[in-house]
Structure 1
Amino acid sequence: MTQLKPIIATALAMRCLIDEKYPASFTKSISNVPVPGVGGIVHPRTWDLEDPNTEVGYLNANDVTSVIQHEGFRFWGNRTCSADPRFAFETGTLTAQWLLDTIINGCFPFIDQPLTPVLVRDIIDSINAKLRATVAKGWLIGASCWYNDAQNNEQDLSQGLLVIDYDYTPVPTLENLQLNQRITDRYLVDFGKLIAQGA
Structure 2
Amino acid sequence: MAFFHGVKASEVPTSVVAPVATTAGLPVVFGTAPVHLTDDPTAYVNRPVICYSWAEAEAALGYSDDWDKYTLCEAMYSEFKLYAVKPIIFVNVLNPAVHKSSVSGAEKNLAADKTLTLEEPILLASLKVKASPEAEADAVLGTDYTAAYNDDGKLVITVLADGALASNTSIVLTYDKVDPTAVTANSVIGGADSNGNPTGLELIDSIYTLFAMVPGIVAAPGWSENPTVAAVMKAKCLNISELFRCICLTDVDTASVTSYSGVNTWKNNNNYTGTNQVVCWPCVKQGDMVFHMSTHIMGIIGVTDAANDDVPYQSPSNQTLQATGLCLKNGTEVNLSLPQANLLNSQGVMTGLNFSGGWKSWGNYTGAYPGTTDVKDSFICVRRMFDWQYQTFVLTYWQKVDQPLTPRLIKTIVDSEQIRLNGLVSRGFLLGADVKFLEEENPDTDLLAGIIRIHSYITPPVPAQEIEDILEYDVSNFKALFS
2:384 is the alignment partner of 1:98: no
2:474 and 2:453 mapped to 1: Cα distance?
Answer: 59
What is the CA deviation profile of residues 69-104 of structure 1, one whole-angstrom value per residue up to 9, with x for unaligned ones?
Answer: 132211111010222422211011011011222222
Question: Partner of 2:431: helix, strand, or coil?
Answer: strand
Give ranges in structure 2 of 5+ residues lacking alignment.
1-286, 328-332
Alpha-carbon deviation of 1:191? Answer: 5.5
Q: Which runs of 5+ in 1 are unaligned?
A: 49-53, 194-199
Equivalent of 1:161, from 451, 458, 465? 451
Aligned to 1:32: 318
Give the CA deviation at 1:30.
Answer: 1.5
Q: 1:73 aligns with which of 354, 359, 375?
A: 359
Shift of 1:21: 2.4
Moved segments of 4+, more than 4 Å: 190-193
> Structure 1 77/20 Cα, relative in aligned 2: closer, same or farther at 3 Å?
same
Contact 2:297–2:316 (Cα < 8 Å) also in 1: yes
CA, structure 1 residues 136+191, in 2 after alignment: closer, same or farther (shift >3 Å)?
Answer: farther
The correspondence of residues 107-126 of structure 1 with structure 2, limited to 5 A, is 107-126=397-416
- Paired AA for residue 341 in structure 2: V
Deviation at 1:188, TM superposition (A): 4.1
Deviates more, 1:3-12 or 1:147-156: 147-156
Residues 316 and 381, structure 2, Cα contact 8 Å, conserved in 1: no
Q: Are 1:180 and 2:470 counterparts?
A: yes
CA distance in structure 2 between the aligned counterparts of 1:110 and 1:169, rounded to whole angstroms: 26
> Retained in 1: the 8 A contact 2:300–2:320?
no
What one-letter code is carried by the residue in structure 1 that aligns with 2:348? D
The SS at the match of 2:436 is strand
1:63 aligns with 2:353: no
Aligned mate of 1:10, from 296, 299, 305: 296
8 Å contact from structure 2 (residues 350, 361) kept in 1:
yes
Report if the CA contact (8 A) 1:35-1:74 is conserved.
yes
Q: Deviations over 1:105-126 (max 9, x none)?
A: 3323422221111211121111
| 1:123–1:40 Cα change, 3 Å | same
Change beyond 3 A, Cα 1:174–1:44: same
Answer whether contact 1:24 1:139 (CA < 8 A) is retained.
no
Name the CA distance, whole Å, in 1 between partners of 2:310 and 2:470.
Answer: 32
Say which one has the larger Rg: 2
Q: Which residue number in structure 2 is paired with residue 136 of structure 1? A: 426
| 1:134-179 C-alpha deviation (Å, 9 max, x unpaired) | 1111111111111122222333223322111121112111011122
Q: How far 1:19 sits from its partner (Å)? A: 2.0
Matched residue type, 1:58: L
SS in structure 1 opposite 2:336?
coil
What is the CA–CA distance in structure 1 between the aligned matches of 2:480 and 2:309, rounded to whole Å? 47
Q: Is the 8 A contact 2:364 2:380 kept in 1?
A: yes
Structure with greater helix share of residues: 1
Residue aligning to 1:41: 326
> Within the alignment, does 1:85 sit opposite 2:374 as a pair?
yes
Contact 1:143 1:167 in 2 (8 A): yes
Question: Once the 2 structures are TM-superposed, how far is the Cα of residue 17 of structure 1 from its aligned partner?
Answer: 1.9
Contact 1:45 1:56 in 2 (8 A): no
Whole-angstrom distance in 1 between the partners of 2:440 and 2:311: 35
What is the count of residue pairs matched by the alignment? Answer: 187
Cα distance in 2, alignment partners of residues 110 and 25 from structure 1: 24
Find the aligned partners of 1:119 and 1:6 in 2 and give their Cα distance: 48
CA distance in structure 2 between the partners assigned to 1:192 and 1:27 by the alignment: 52
Name the CA distance, whole Å, in 2 between partners of 1:173 and 1:138.
13
User: What is the letter of the counterpart of residue 299 of structure 2?
Assistant: A
| Structure 1 SS opposite 2:361 | strand
**1:197 aligns to what?**
none
Higher strand share: 2
Asked if 1:19 is matched to 2:305, the reply is yes
**1:25/1:115 CA distance change after superposition, 3 Å:** closer
Tell me the residue number matched to 1:145: 435
